[in-house]
Every structure is written in C-alpha cells, then in structure tokens.
A and B are shown apart, each in its own frame.
Chain A
Amino acid sequence: MRSNVNALNRSRLADRLQIAAMYAPAFVLFGLFVFYPLINGVRISFTDWNGYSQSYSFIGWDNYRKLFADSNIRTAFVNTLIYGVGSAVIQNVWGLLYALLLNRKFAGRTLARAAIYLPVMISGLIMGYIWYFMLQYSGGALNDLMSALGLARVDWLADPNRAVGLILFITSLQYVGQAMVIYLAGLQTIPQTYYEAAEMDGVRVWSRFRHITLPLLAPAIITNATLKLIGGLQLFDLVMALTRGGPGFSTHSVSTMINYLYFASQNAGYSATLGIALFLTIMTITIAINRFLRKREVEH
C-alpha cells in the first residue's frame, strides 16, 4: 500500500517537474525580454539619466509631475488615442465589410482578397515613404495630378489636423486586409444551417446579420479590436516616414515621442516615464475592451 502511495507521489513529482521544465524556456524568455526591461524602465523613470552617461541621479516623482503639465505630451497622447481607437474602429468596420463582400463567391474573389491584403506585407516605414512621395508638395503624385487639372497645389502634411487625419487613413488602409482575413476566418466558422433556418423563417438580411453573424463573430471582433487598438496605440514607423512628428510636435504619437525624448532630446528618464504611461494606458484600454466584448461572446 505504502509503496503504491510513494510511486504515485513520485509520478506526481515527475509530472510537475516535466511541466516546470516545459514552462522554463518561456519564463526565461519572458523574464529576459519583457519583465526585466519593464522593471528597469520603471527604475529609469525616477532618474534624470541622459541615456548614455555612466551616472545619474534619482529625482523622485519629478518626471511624472512634469508629464501631466507638458502640452506636447498631451498632444502625443491625444494623437495616439486617435491613431489607436480611430484605426481600430475604421479597420474593424471596413474589414468586416470587405469580409462580408469577399465571403461570397464571384469571379476575381481571390485576386481581390490578395490585393486588399498585400499592403499588410509592406513595412510601415516603406508605406510611409510611398505616401510621402504621393503627398509631397513639390513633385508629389497627387499635387502633380491636381496641377494637371488646373487646381492649386496643397501642402497636405503642413496642417496638423489634416496630417493626423492622413496618418490615420493611411495606417487603416494598410492594415485593413489583416482585419478582413480574421473576419473571413470567423465567417467561415458560422454554420450555414443557422442562416438556412433563419431564411426559412423569413428573417430579413439585416436581422440575420445582427442576430446571427455579429454575435457569432464576437471572438473575431475581440481579436481584431485588440490587435488593431494595440497596433494603433504603438504607431511609430508611419509617423516617422510621413512627418517625423511635425510640424512642431503636432503629429507625434507617444511611441515617436518616446524615441525623440530618449535619443534626440537626451532625456532618457523622462522618456522612460512616458513609456510607463503608455504601457499603463494600453493595458487599461485592452483589459476594458476585452471585458466589454467577452460579455457579448456567444458559443455555438
């Protein structure tokens, strides 16, 4: 009897060791590349470090106090919310429309899917430069076209509000294909029998969409909303290629501002503070959205 118990305990211990060993690489990687930089970032945010010197001083909450009073940081946060929430909404609506359209069978469907998805494969930086060449005042494709039509040239990126709008539009256009693919996958998991039953009961198209498609797409909506929101909140490369945060500080996202503060302004302590603020913002928004959408998830 006792030997059986010992054998059982040994077996349980071996199981636990095996599980721990399986977890270990992931834990080490996570600790090395996520946890350690995060803790170090928090520590640096309480210093006046310039980013390269071998010495620095701890300055308490000064950086955090300054953060709330800094109008440039406020602009960067507002822009980041516009880029994040705006692109999440636009890409979800636009991506869902594309998915509904391209879920139907018609000639050229595969080509259309590929064409919409293609920009996702281009780096954000390259996409930014392509659009810069299209929008630039002198020699830009759009302005050349307008000139040919007898219209006055426009410096599209000179107006801060318009520049923010263009960045939002371009990032949405680039990544809408990703949202479309996720929605297409979601649509294909919905059993056709539901639609057939609804059709037989005389349910109209809009009601079928609202009461069958939308609830059963909830997992795809959660995935898309989270991915797009995080992507938008972290927007960096497109801003750098199109405006580099200018004119002035008017189109900076928090990510480009972090880069500017650390490497150009030599204010690494303040930059780390902003990084922590961005981390907390993304975490809060993501948790809130996930909780909100999970309640609407339907199993089938």
Chain B
Amino acid sequence: MMTKIQRSKLLVVPLLLLALLVSACGKDNNAPSSGASASPEGGATPPAASAEAASPSPAQKPVTLEFSTNASGGTLEAFKEIVAGFNDSHLGITVELADLGKDFNTLMTARMANNDMPDLFSTAGWSVRRFGEYLLPLGDRAWAGQVADSIKPVVADSGGKLLALPMDIDVSGMIYSKTILQQLGLSVPETWEQFLAACEAVKKAGYTPIAVAGKEQSDIAGMLSRVSLSLLVQSGGYKSAFEQGSFEWKEFGAVTDFVLNLKAQGYFNADYLTADKATIYSEFAKNNVAFAFQSNQTIAEIKKLNPDADVSMMRIPVGDASAKPFLISGERDSVGVWKDTKHPEQALAFIDYLAQPDNVRKIAEAYSLPAGLNGVKVDLGTLQGVFDQYQDAPVSNHFDRQYLPNGMFTTLGNVGSGLLAGTMDAAQVIAAMSEDYTRLSNAK
C-alpha cells in the first residue's frame, strides 16, 4: 500500500512539471499585461485607480499597446514623457514603451520573422524598405497633409502611401571644429580638394584632421556612405545608374581610392581601427580633431562633455566645382503602426497624439533637428544659424537608404573596415559590394 502511494506520488511530480511546462510554453494572446490582472472569468481588470476613473464598459476593455523604439538619450526621455502624458489623458489605453536600444534591430528582426510585431514601433530609418510590409498606411490621418515635403518621399512607398509619422528630419552633413579651423585661418571646405588641403594644414599644426571610430563599423559605413553619395551621385553622374539598378560596381573604385588616400596621407586618428564613438566625442571636446563623418547627434554628445566646444555642421563637399555641397535629409525618429495590430483604433489614437505640435517639437528638439511636420516651431539651439545658412542647400536621402537594398549599410561598414585594416584590397571591396547588392536586391 505504502509503495503504491509513494509510486503514485512520484508519478505526479513529473506530470505536474510537464503540465507546467506545457502551460508556460502555450501562447495566450489574451494574457493580461502589466498593470492589469486576470479576472476569474478570464477578462482583464484594470488597476483599482484606473478602474474608478475610467469605468470602462464591458464592451470597451482596457487595452495595452506595445511601442518599441530604438530611441536613446534625449529622444528616449522625450518619448517617455509623451507616453506618460498619453496614458494619463487616455483612460482605458495604456502604451508601454519598450526601449530596445542597441538590440532594436536584432529583436525586431526576430519579431518580423514571427510576424509578431509591436502595435507601434520606431522605423529607425527604414519605414519603407525594411518595415514597409508590416506598416499600416497613415495617409488618411488629419496630420498627413502636414508632413514636410523633404521627408515625404522617404516615409511613403512607391505608390505614395504614407507609412510612418516622421517626428523629425535627420538633416546632417559632416561635423567640424570651428575652433581649429578659425585658429588656422581655414574656411569650411566645399570641395574635396579644399577638404584635403584643410586636412594637410590641420595635420601640420599638430591636430588630427579626421576622427574615425573604427571599432564601430557603423561609423566607417557613415564615412563611405557620405563619400559615395558625393563622388558617385552628386558629382560622379551615376544617379540614374543607381536608380535603374545598372551601376557598374567597378566605379566604386573612386570611393576606395579616396578613402585609401586619406589613410595614406595620415589624416585619420592613430586609433582609427579601434576607437569607439565615445573616444571621438572626447577628442572633439578637447579640440584635438577637425572633421568627422558623423551626424548632428555627435555635436550634442560633445557638448555634454564640454559645453564650450565650438563644433558645428558643414555640408558634404563635392568632387568638382560644378556640383554644390549638399546635406543629407533622412528619416530618424519616425513611428508606424503594425498593420495586423489587434487594436488599430487605439494605436492610431496614439499616433495622432504623437503628431500634436508639442510632442513633435519635444522629439525634434532632443537632438536639434527640424520637425517632420510643417507648422511646428523647433528651437534648434546653436545650430539654428547653420540651418538658416544652409536652408537652400541641396539635400539627398542617405546613400544606402536611397540607392542600395536594405542591409548594405552593414556591408559598407565591413568592407570599409577591411579596407582600412588592409585585410581587403579595393578589388575585394568592389566584389563584396557587388555580391551583396545582388543578394540583397534579390531577397524576398
């Protein structure tokens, strides 16, 4: 008898474990999220305070929306503030902000693979080519007509469907130290010839002409992207070849030659292969570096280290005098709605709330960028004068986002890193670019 009892008890333990495992692995789409608890009937009950205030009818159960973002620093803080404001003013809807940081791409890739996207998400520069098939068109929203002309083509698909709300416009060129240029009596270069002459003067004066954070391949990709845009599209005459997909990759040699020349002349920082971005910020803050192929976010980071550092934005130089130095105008903090969200009405309510002028301004001002919607006045701080000065400058979307298939920014970083490290020669770089262009263009 005793043996039977013990045996049955022993059998119960693994079976219970198995049941627990199965129930834990089971996907419950109606599982209550944080802030709400399950009622015995299986419905969701809001926290006491909200329940009293909102008193939602049985037909209008509280809804929790997931909003995933890659925003960081001041932009993330601004998003948190906006989300808190929305949650306070929209009883029955709770937006949960998931700050994915550097894991954003990895996690979103996994979510896309499972076709299980957050209700709302930042499109991180790729609203059309990467996230387009997952986004709900937003052209019918009241604010859609206010989207600035310069960003509209970037956040709308080829059929003109608006896919994301652009909170700001990533206007950038290169950054430079006004202090060093003024000290050496140099003007801001407008052609690469002037740029190389300035680098030589800076080097002779004992400063570092160009800072590259080679540990982070995105920085090298940013350099190659800007140089490609200038030498191949703005000056080189290959714009239509890129648009038609008929670009001969051997012409990319102009870019590799240019970068190898900068290296041969000794214009890069000594640790160009291993420095991280924090090191570059620090060197700019100490007035040791003249130029970097980075965006305006760098200026904000430098100012945190040294508020008196006189660093500004310049247009990207061009290869010949017939072309005009230009700026990049791309997508930065844009937000879209998952087309298969279970709560489209509530998600659109949040998007509309985001589009309110005060909220757009908060995001745009976080990194001193122009607003993505017309009619929103943004304080651009010390960069106001530069934006005013360059308001008529030609603008282009980022090279990789406009002319290359999604995924090639990484290729640019890798071939650039290999080129600078000497582990790849120009021919290998060209072959790798060509191969990835074909592979990623053919990807479904």
The interface-forming segment of B106-114, B236-244, B372-380 is: B106-114
Task: Tally inter-chain residue pairs, CB-CB below 8 A.
Answer: 131
Please tell me if A118 contacts chain B, counting CB pairs below 8 Å.
no
Known contacts A24-B18, A265-B436; is-contact A51 B109 (Cβ 8 Å): yes
Please tell me if B53 contacts chain A, counting CB pairs below 8 Å.
no
CB-based contact B7/A14 at 8 Å: yes
CA distance A245 to B113 in the complex (A): 26
The B interface, classified by DSSP as helix, strand, loop or mixed, is helix
CB-based contact A28/B18 at 8 Å: yes
Please tell me if B265 contacts chain A, counting CB pairs below 8 Å.
no
Q: What residues of chain B lie closer than 8 Å to A24, measured between beta carbons?
A: 14-15, 18
Please tell me if B5 contacts chain A, counting CB pairs below 8 Å.
no
CB-based contact B423/A137 at 8 Å: no
CA distance A244 to B219 in the complex (A): 13
The interface-forming segment of A103-111, A152-160, A210-218 is: A152-160
CB-based contact A50/B216 at 8 Å: no
Least Cβ–Cβ distance between B42 and chain A, in angstroms: 26
Q: For the complex, count residues of A whose C-beta is within 8 A of B.
A: 44
The interface-forming segment of A52-60, A169-177, A280-288 is: A52-60
CB-based contact A248/B279 at 8 Å: no
Q: What residues of chain A lie closer than 8 Å to B214, measured between beta carbons?
A: 246-247
CB-based contact A246/B421 at 8 Å: yes
Residue in A17, A22, A247, A267 whose Cβ sees the most chain B Cβ within 10 Å: A247
Partner of B271, one of A22, A55, A137, A246: A137
Please tell me if A7 contacts chain B, counting CB pairs below 8 Å.
no
CB-based contact B17/A25 at 8 Å: yes
CB-based contact A246/B444 at 8 Å: no
CB-based contact B423/A250 at 8 Å: yes
Please tell me if A249 contacts chain B, counting CB pairs below 8 Å.
yes
Least Cβ–Cβ distance between A277 and chain B, in angstroms: 20
CA distance A14 to B6 in the complex (A): 12
Q: For the complex, count residues of B whose C-beta is within 8 A of A.
A: 51
Q: What residues of chain A lie closer than 8 Å to B110, measured between beta carbons?
A: 52
Partner of A249, one of B276, B407, B414, B436: B414
Q: What residues of chain B lie closer than 8 Å to A260, measured between beta carbons?
A: 410
CB-based contact B443/A247 at 8 Å: no
CB-based contact A136/B11 at 8 Å: no
- Interface positions, chain A 1-52, Cβ under 8 Å from B, are 14, 17-18, 21-22, 24-25, 28-29, 32, 48, 50-52
Least Cβ–Cβ distance between A265 and chain B, in angstroms: 6
Partner of B421, one of A48, A52, A132, A160: A160
CB-based contact B109/A52 at 8 Å: yes
Q: What residues of chain B lie closer than 8 Å to A132, measured between beta carbons?
A: 276
CB-based contact B271/A138 at 8 Å: yes
CA distance A25 to B419 in the complex (A): 52
Known contacts A137-B275, A263-B105, A263-B109; is-contact A17 B11 (Cβ 8 Å): yes
CB-based contact A29/B21 at 8 Å: yes
Q: What residues of chain B lie closer than 8 Å to A14, measured between beta carbons?
A: 7
CB-based contact A263/B106 at 8 Å: yes
- Interface positions, chain B 261-298, Cβ under 8 Å from A, are 269-271, 273-276, 279, 282-283
CA distance A241 to B14 in the complex (A): 41
Partner of B443, one of A29, A48, A264: A48
Least Cβ–Cβ distance between A188 and chain B, in angstroms: 34
Closest to B16 in A: A25
Partner of A243, one of B17, B274, B411, B423: B274
Please tell me if B329 contacts chain A, counting CB pairs below 8 Å.
no
CB-based contact A32/B216 at 8 Å: no
Closest to A262 in B: B109
Least Cβ–Cβ distance between B155 and chain A, in angstroms: 20
Known contacts A138-B282, A243-B274, A265-B410; is-contact A57 B444 (Cβ 8 Å): yes
Least Cβ–Cβ distance between A3 and chain B, in angstroms: 17
Q: What residues of chain A lie closer than 8 Å to B217, measured between beta carbons?
A: 244, 246
CA distance A158 to B439 in the complex (A): 31
Q: What residues of chain B lie closer than 8 Å to A29, measured between beta carbons?
A: 21
Name A's B-contacting residues (CB within 8 A).
14, 17-18, 21-22, 24-25, 28-29, 32, 48, 50-57, 132, 136-139, 153, 155-158, 160, 243-244, 246-250, 260, 262-267
Chain A to chain B contacts (Cβ below 8 Å), 22 pairs: A21-B15, A22-B10, A25-B17, A28-B22, A50-B440, A52-B110, A53-B113, A53-B444, A54-B115, A138-B279, A157-B273, A158-B421, A246-B217, A246-B417, A247-B423, A248-B417, A250-B421, A262-B109, A263-B105, A263-B106, A263-B109, A266-B407
- Nearest 9 interchain pairs by C-beta: A247-B421, A137-B271, A248-B418, A52-B112, A248-B423, A266-B407, A264-B410, A248-B421, A158-B273
